[in-house]
Structure 1
Amino acid sequence: MYRILFSLAFILHFSYGIYAQETTFYQDVAVINGISEGLPTASIDQITIVGDTPTATTSSGQYEWKNSKWISKKNGDSPTPLPKYKGLPIEAGKVLAATNYGNTNYLGCENGLYVKIGHNKWKQELPYDQNYSWALKEVAALTVDSKGRLWFGAKQGVGRLEKGQWTLFTGKEGVPYNRFTSAASGPTGQVWFGTENGAFKVEDDKFFYRSNRRWLPHNHVNDIAVDVEGTAWIATQNGLAQIISKEMTYADKATHFTNQVEARHNRMGFICQSHLTEQFNINTSQLAISDNDGQYTAMYGAAQAFRYAITKDPKARELANRSFFALKWLVDITHEPGFPARVIIPVDWHEPVNEQYSKEYNRRHQKNDPFWKDIFPRFPLSEDGNYRWKCDTSSDELAGHYFNYGIYNDLIAETKEEKDAVKQVVADVTDHLIRHGFKLVDYDGKPTRWGSFDPDYFNSIWGWDQRGLNAMMMLSFLNVASHVTGDPKYDEVAEILREKENYDIYAMHAKEFFPPENAVPWDNNLGLMSLYGLINYEKNPERQIMYRIALENAWLHISKQKNAFWDGLYGAMAGFFTKKVDEGFFKPEELFIENPLFAKASIDRYYKSSLDNRYMTETLQRIPLDLIGYDMDNTHRLDIQLDPTPGQVKDMGWGNDTYSLPIDERGHVRLDRDATVLHDNEGNGYAEHEGTFYLLPYYLATYHNLIEP
């Protein structure tokens, strides 16, 4: 974790500048302290800060923070118990917390909040505001913030007293949990609360929940102290966490993630996640392979292409080129022109890849998944004998490839070699699909499991639910091919699919959203990346209107997921449409003449984007710098509402604002997952994910002027 902090400090001094005045924000970073930093294995019972020195008190003694280590403090004091308070009514119960406010004492007790009103006299406070009136229980947290306001944490929720007026907060207002243990105030008005299940910060009436191993070594918080820099020192039953807020810019963060990808996620030019041999330790990172190396490499290449278009940084151009030629290699290595492999690995790869997918494995797998393809070897040998490539390529891969092809062609390809290369690979892949009746056909002469884009498949019992997405994707591939190659045959093929097979009508419902088992989140990536090429390169005004309707239908179903990539793609494409309207591209009186009112009504309705970019900027700012996959459980929270959709699996839900929880509080950092999953696990600390999931939405949004940079 210290490597992240060092890298961040370096970035803040040396990151490149894109704009004269850049947006700044505060990035929370967690540093976990345990045995390796000098703490004992015992519970950290108390944390105090005297001057600039944090002191941790444990059952085995006290420890001082010096030179980034905890040093045993000789003759350290034991925790100071709360004194006995004379005159406190017996019905108040045990004293749980105490503070001074307004030159008097406040006590948090088992059965109420009490204020001293005279010599050995106490009065019970009954806080109320316009929404609530409380007789408090279990008032275990009290503090006074730097703005002179009293705060409590009790069973009912959180309260703030300012100028004699109470403001009360429950789960509805954002309180995530209510079994309090402690509270502490920071230098700029922020207040931290410790609970038996995580900690949270309140700042400007916004709540930031910090729980699970992403933020804490243990969820039971014993005590919190905040230093003059605003760093929260959080003592738990198993170690201590520092949560540091660092001011940075979007460009600073992009530099951090580009460095992260290049250091730990680049395998022969392919972008991949990494496996950690030691839980939570990025120093034990090993490059991994996945089914979607092509898609993830395409996304990284697109990010660098947008970066180059914005900054003209030659390094960005180099990385975009490297990614494109890696994608081209996936196509060039296989059994016939135009079939892209999923993965390429050296022949001496350390895992026994074919043995994992034996004939016996395939037959067993088909018992639970009847569409699983029985093909062996799944990793054929390359013609030169130096590599293996993975077959059974899916529509996910094609969506990534074509998304990259168009962007690479438009923003990067300058030399004859580059232009010829992109034209060739686009023609090869598209011609393969056409030659095989709109199917990806494997080396066994049969279609891949997820590679069917043909009319017979769409009209079958097993393909009808895919026809909207796959028909739209096929039209997108043809539009990209027409744009990149300039060959009119691709427009002619697309016209046949539209006029004879209704592909454009199918494309208007490009995503299934019900029943829940059909609504897999990565299909949103496929759909929106493919719509980007379809809408961007469509020349017919009637179809532009149809595809704009398809875009709105697809995005509205996911618009509350706080997904910066999906929001960015939607905003960019909605912007394409708005620009065409402003340029006079549409002549409503000449369109859809069988219903002369339809074109104008649609143009008026969809002229303006419905994007609220607040949620895109929130996600970009709050994507953690640490992309290790942690187990994150939010099912206990008070500020959520469960998804009542019939047939929905359990543990799905939203924040009480009806949007998904912020990304740094969720169980995933990848922007191809369902943000409404309340208990999620992306590797349980044994996987680090690639920074593309920040880089692509950031550079995409900046290029399309969707955020204030």
Structure 2
Amino acid sequence: MIQSLKFYSFGLLLSVFDLPLAAQQTLWEPVADKVFLQEKSDIVPTPTAVTQVAILSGRSYAVLDGKLQELKADGLQPVSNSPAGISKLEVLDHSAWVMASSGFYRFADNSWEKLSEDNFVDVCLHLGKVHAATRDAIFVYKQGKLTDIEPEGGYLSSDVTMLMEDGTQLLADPVKLGPITSIASYSGTLHILRPGQLVQLSGKVVNEHLIDWGNLPSKNTGELLSMGSSLFISTDRGLGVLRGASLQSIQGDDGLPVEETRQLVQGFDRDVWIGTPRGAIRMLDEDWHYFGADHWLPDNRVNDIAVAENEVLVATEGGIGIIRYEPFTLRKKTDHYEYWLENWGHKRMGFIHTIRDYQGEWVREISDNDGAHTATYLSAMSYKYAVTGEETARKEAVDAFQAMLWLERITPIDGLIARSIWSRKGDKGEMGQRGSGGLPAKWNATADSLWYWKGDASSDEIIAHFYSVSLFHDLAAEGKEKELAKEHMRRIAGYIMENGWVLIDADGQPTRWGRWNPEYLLRPYGWSDRGVNGLEALAFSYSTYALTGEERFKKGYQQLVDWGYAENTIKQKNTFPPSQIAPWDDNLAFEAYNTLLRYEKDPEMRSIYLRSLERTFEIKRMEKIPWFNFTYAAMTGNDADLDAAVQHLREWTLDCIEHNYHNSHRDDLFVDEGYTSYEGGVKAISPREAAVTRGARRAIVLDGGQNSKRIMEPVGFIRDYWMGRHYGFIQAPEVSDPELLEVDKRSGEKVGAAPYDGPDRPKFL
């Protein structure tokens, strides 16, 4: 949201890491790492639909094929003596009230009590007693019996024409309660939902005129839920909300993800759970959480919901979705992801890999951008070491750094880098036959034939090397490591400059995307890349000069400035046409901003780059992605919606398997107030409602996933969290309980890809 401009407390803004920290006025406030409830998902698939669920005395139940079953660790187990044809199941007053084709039952302490042969439709707790409704009547349960609450002489009408002067009524026909579909106790009074109509039972009077203002959003009504000052009514066009005598609507424009609402259940934290044919919804005071298939639910069609303390069961056509809530801090969450990387086998010889299903086995993917993916982890561990001083973090950073070094040392040409490295004797799966942009892959064998390295490196990997290695140099490197970091940057930057700002591959030809020369960027063929590629070249030439002090790199930087590359960065972010928007370019640009603005101190040049960053961030701001917000705040000192960015981290799902997700059907697809969509996005989707993605992620992608056949490495979260801690955007958690700071690693169960079993990587230290 746009905040009014005001000066907050003095913060610390670090722009060159090897200079002393200087107090500088900032416009952002740090965000506390407070304890929050983190969702965890489990799915119990079933061969047929689960129609009802309930939680009674800490035990979970479900209705499958019309009969009650208990959900245990090993699956669903039939409950003995269960009636057949169960249509509804509600837990009230320490008992389950079961509505079935054979009658109405009370289930408690593993025993059944049949209360009536009649067909009942709903129950509620009213004035401390259970009330149950058939289609036409309401009964109260007292002393083990059901008693019809209809008064002697029948119900009275709220129609004033029926009222005589002495208070009596003359009725040509008896007043009926039905047809009843749902009942609820609201403000000490029974309320009855008929198809398309809400009525009130006020003593003896059936009040059909209780609403003074407003109307139901639709006559196609579902259920009632009384909660505090509100009575909610589900309809196929949104929720009706009765407050006093005023009926208002909540619909898609108000944030309701799906307007076709059916089931309504009170949550555990002043929240409401809503079942729909297109997923489940959690409604909070100022937020909406949407849960759909395939990550959270086995099927989108919700039949029932049951809620206990910090646990929710969702009955669907395909089984039961179980959503559990556990206290977390962001510190604990990053520990979860760091453990995930280790336990699921994402690491290999210092590299970080995506994992995919290959013929039924999880294997590490040797990709087009292993260097870029590893660079994110290298930066994460460099930030972590700067924050914590933990030697284990530095060790991880050094290991990743050596992997980055190897990508350059494995090629036969100083300064030429490989995209990735394949071990003939240790890697599983198959070597990818596609390269960048779908072009054929370029694999090259080493002289000893132990390894293949992938050529045709692009600008993506180049800027990733400079961003991460320079950051490692400044934050985590020691002794010889610093010299190796400088040498690594010197070799790559020097090779590109010597070849006229082009990356020449082993075959003597320029790589497809490794071009920063004016013949490409200042001509029609490469015109759309002139901004982002120019920004990269400025970043890697100046950062190399800043760390090595070699004048040739400063001269190269000035040459780029003379060509107009600096001015071209101002509008480097493309927003039109849609076909030309490359989301990964945003990641490259922000790696370049991070690199260039940490070193360049000239006010005139900084003013150009800051204008570029201002324009780019305003475009990306609506997505609330920490990587963009944190970079902007770090490099400018300005307010950067840090609360929204930190909340984005809290909403990441713990499961890194890329399940399919679908949001394009939703009714709440609008840009949040205070933001503008410049790229055509209709909504920033919460990470909870999508899948774990890497640094090039976009929050405006509505649908996606990999059929649960790929596992993404969660290094983006780890990098963003420790970056936030490093700059002070995220405060250290105040709690000291280890259970709120670390995940349990005692089980030791290994999952995912098997450990790498092949020749070792060369050592450079």
Pair in the same fold by TM > 0.5: yes
Q: Within 5 Å, which residues of 2 pair with 1:538-617?
A: 538-575=600-637, 609-617=638-646
* 1:32/1:240 contact within 8 Å kept: yes
CA distance in 1, matches of 2:583, 2:650: 22
SS in 1 for 2:303: strand
CA distance in 2, matches of 1:143, 1:314: 54
Query: In the alignment, which residue of structure 1 is the partner of 2:136?
Result: 85
* 1:633/1:667 contact within 8 Å kept: no
SS in 2 for 1:405: helix
SS in 1 for 2:646: helix
Determine whether 1:405 maps to 2:469: yes
Query: In the alignment, which residue of structure 1 is the partner of 2:685?
Result: 661
- Tell me how far 1:119 sits from its aligned partner: 4.0
Q: Within 5 Å, which residues of 2 pair with 1:67-86?
A: 67=73, 69-77=75-83, 78-79=86-87, 80=99, 81-82=120-121, 83-86=134-137
Query: In the alignment, which residue of structure 1 is the partner of 2:330?
Result: 250
Determine whether 1:691 maps to 2:722: no
Among candidates 155, 160, 171, match of residue 236 of structure 2: 155
CA distance in 2, matches of 1:395, 1:43: 51
Query: In the alignment, which residue of structure 2 is the partner of 1:593?
Result: none
SS in 1 for 2:512: strand
SS in 1 for 2:283: strand
Residue identity matched to 1:31: D
CA-to-aligned-CA distance 1:174-233 (integer Å, 9 cap, x gap): 111122231111233111010111010111232111112111110000000101x13111
CA distance in 2, matches of 1:126, 1:621: 41
Determine whether 1:231 maps to 2:295: no
Q: Taking structure 1 as reference, are residues 688 and 611 closer, same or farther at Cα in structure 2, changes over 3 Å only?
A: same
Q: Taking structure 1 as reference, are residues 666 and 20 closer, same or farther at Cα in structure 2, changes over 3 Å only?
A: closer
Q: Taking structure 1 as reference, are residues 440 and 95 closer, same or farther at Cα in structure 2, changes over 3 Å only?
A: farther
* 1:198/1:221 contact within 8 Å kept: yes
Determine whether 1:381 maps to 2:445: yes
Query: In the alignment, which residue of structure 2 is the partner of 1:108?
Result: 193
Query: In the alignment, which residue of structure 2 is the partner of 1:461?
Result: 524
Residue identity matched to 1:514: F
- Tell me how far 1:482 sits from its aligned partner: 1.2
Query: RMSD between aligned alpha carbons?
Result: 2.8
Query: In the alignment, which residue of structure 1 is the partner of 2:269?
Result: 188
Query: In the alignment, which residue of structure 2 is the partner of 1:504?
Result: 566
Matched residues, number: 618
Query: In the alignment, which residue of structure 1 is the partner of 2:257?
Result: 176
CA distance in 2, matches of 1:209, 1:568: 26
Query: In the alignment, which residue of structure 1 is the partner of 2:43?
Result: 32
CA distance in 2, matches of 1:236, 1:439: 56
CA distance in 2, matches of 1:445, 1:91: 90
Among candidates 536, 557, 566, match of residue 494 of structure 1: 557
* 1:373/1:448 contact within 8 Å kept: no
Among candidates 501, 505, 514, match of residue 451 of structure 1: 514
Residue identity matched to 2:221: V
Query: In the alignment, which residue of structure 1 is the partner of 2:741?
Result: none
Q: Taking structure 1 as reference, are residues 127 and 446 closer, same or farther at Cα in structure 2, changes over 3 Å only?
A: farther
Residue identity matched to 1:105: L
Q: Taking structure 1 as reference, are residues 668 and 678 closer, same or farther at Cα in structure 2, changes over 3 Å only?
A: farther
Determine whether 1:437 maps to 2:500: yes
Residue identity matched to 2:574: E
CA distance in 2, matches of 1:94, 1:642: 41
Among candidates 260, 271, 274, match of residue 352 of structure 2: 271
Q: Which has the higher contact order (CA 8 A, sep 6+)?
A: 2
Q: Taking structure 1 as reference, are residues 93 and 393 closer, same or farther at Cα in structure 2, changes over 3 Å only?
A: farther
- Tell me how far 1:319 sits from its aligned partner: 0.7
Residue identity matched to 2:542: N
CA distance in 2, matches of 1:618, 1:20: 10
Q: Within 5 Å, which residues of 2 pair with 1:93-132?
A: 95-119=180-204, 121-123=206-208, 126=211, 128=213
CA distance in 1, matches of 2:584, 2:175: 59
CA distance in 1, matches of 2:175, 2:369: 65
Q: Which has the larger radius of gyration?
A: 2
Query: In the alignment, which residue of structure 2 is the partner of 1:478?
Result: 541
Q: Taking structure 1 as reference, are residues 460 and 92 closer, same or farther at Cα in structure 2, changes over 3 Å only?
A: farther
CA-to-aligned-CA distance 1:236-289 (integer Å, 9 cap, x gap): 11100111121111110010000111222112221111113599xxxx532112
User: Which stretch shows the higher mean deviation, 164-173 or 54-63?
Assistant: 164-173
- Tell me how far 1:135 sits from its aligned partner: 5.9
SS in 2 for 1:706: coil
Query: In the alignment, which residue of structure 2 is the partner of 1:426?
Result: 489
CA distance in 2, matches of 1:118, 1:138: 27
CA-to-aligned-CA distance 1:440-472 (integer Å, 9 cap, x gap): 111111111110000111122211111111111
Q: Within 5 Å, which residues of 2 pair with 1:56-75?
A: 56-59=62-65, 61-67=67-73, 69-75=75-81
Q: Taking structure 1 as reference, are residues 671 and 117 closer, same or farther at Cα in structure 2, changes over 3 Å only?
A: farther
Query: In the alignment, which residue of structure 2 is the partner of 1:16?
Result: none
- Tell me how far 1:696 sits from its aligned partner: 0.9
Among candidates 369, 373, 379, match of residue 296 of structure 1: 373
- Tell me how far 1:313 sits from its aligned partner: 1.1
Query: In the alignment, which residue of structure 1 is the partner of 2:652?
Result: 623
User: Which stretch shows the higher mean deviation, 699-708 or 529-538?
Assistant: 699-708
Q: Taking structure 1 as reference, are residues 391 and 126 closer, same or farther at Cα in structure 2, changes over 3 Å only?
A: farther
Q: Percent identity?
A: 27
Query: In the alignment, which residue of structure 1 is the partner of 2:140?
Result: none
Q: Taking structure 1 as reference, are residues 163 and 107 closer, same or farther at Cα in structure 2, changes over 3 Å only?
A: closer
* 1:224/1:235 contact within 8 Å kept: yes
In the superposition, the TM-score normalised over structure 1's length comes to 0.82
CA distance in 1, matches of 2:31, 2:629: 26
Instruction: Give the structure with the higher percent helix.
Output: 1
Q: Taking structure 1 as reference, are residues 167 and 278 closer, same or farther at Cα in structure 2, changes over 3 Å only?
A: farther
* 1:93/1:110 contact within 8 Å kept: no
- In structure 2, runs of 5+ residues without a counterpart are 1-29, 88-98, 100-119, 122-133, 138-154, 158-173, 673-677, 733-765
Determine whether 1:641 maps to 2:670: yes
- In structure 1, runs of 5+ residues without a counterpart are 1-18, 35-39, 576-608
Q: Taking structure 1 as reference, are residues 661 and 20 closer, same or farther at Cα in structure 2, changes over 3 Å only?
A: closer
Residue identity matched to 2:603: P
Query: In the alignment, which residue of structure 1 is the partner of 2:576?
Result: 514
CA-to-aligned-CA distance 1:38-83 (integer Å, 9 cap, x gap): xx41211111222222210111522113456432211123331401
* 2:363/2:429 contact within 8 Å kept: no
SS in 1 for 2:571: coil
Residue identity matched to 2:310: G
SS in 2 for 1:380: strand
Q: Taking structure 1 as reference, are residues 654 and 93 closer, same or farther at Cα in structure 2, changes over 3 Å only?
A: farther
Query: In the alignment, which residue of structure 2 is the partner of 1:140?
Result: 222
User: Which stretch shows the higher mean deviation, 163-172 or 90-99?
Assistant: 90-99
- Tell me how far 1:654 sits from its aligned partner: 2.5
Residue identity matched to 1:84: R
Query: In the alignment, which residue of structure 1 is the partner of 2:698?
Result: 674
- Tell me how far 1:91 sits from its aligned partner: 12
* 2:31/2:729 contact within 8 Å kept: no
Q: Taking structure 1 as reference, are residues 212 and 393 closer, same or farther at Cα in structure 2, changes over 3 Å only?
A: same
- Tell me how far 1:164 sits from its aligned partner: 5.6
CA-to-aligned-CA distance 1:420-453 (integer Å, 9 cap, x gap): 2111111111111011111111111111111000
